[in-house]
Amino acid sequence: MSSFAMFLLDGGVDVEVAVDFAGLPTFLSEESARYSCGEYVYQISAGKGVLGKRWNLMVNAMDPNMQGQPLYPLGRMEIEPVEEDMSHIKIPPRIEQNVLGEDAADWDGKLFASFVSQLLNSLHSRGLIDLPGVLPTR
C-alpha cells in the first residue's frame, strides 16, 4: 500500500458531493460494484442510520469466485444530507473505525485503501470533487 493511501486511511476522508441524499446509497452501490483489488470486489451494505438524516454504510470485500463465502468487513463510511441535492461523505480515520467489534487496522488495509482511492477517483471523474490527478489504486 502506498504511503499516500496510508495517509488517506489514517486521516480519513471528508467530502461534499452534488448528489441527493436519498439517491446516494444507490449511487455508491452502483459505483463500487465496478471496483476491484486483486481477486476481490466490493459490496456496500447498510449499517445503522436515521431515515433521511444519516446512514452508516459498511464497505465489504468478497472473492466473487468463492460462492457462499462471507463478506469481509473492511471499514465504514457515513453519509449525511447537507442541503437539497448535496450530501456529505465521511470515511472516518482508521483509529475510529470499528467493524463488527474488530479494529479496522487489523483488516487488510490494502483493500480498504484501494476502495477509498477508487471512490475518490469515481467522484472526480463524474465532476463531483476536484483532485489534482488520478489516485493510485494498487
pLDDT of 70: 72
pLDDT of 35: 95
**Amino acid symbol at 91:** I
**Strands 86-91, 98-99: parallel, antiparallel or unpaired by DSSP?**
unpaired
Rounded Cα–Cα distance for residues 131 and 32 (Å): 19
Mean of the per-residue pLDDT values of the chain:
84
pTM: 0.85
H or E stretch at 116 = helix 109-125
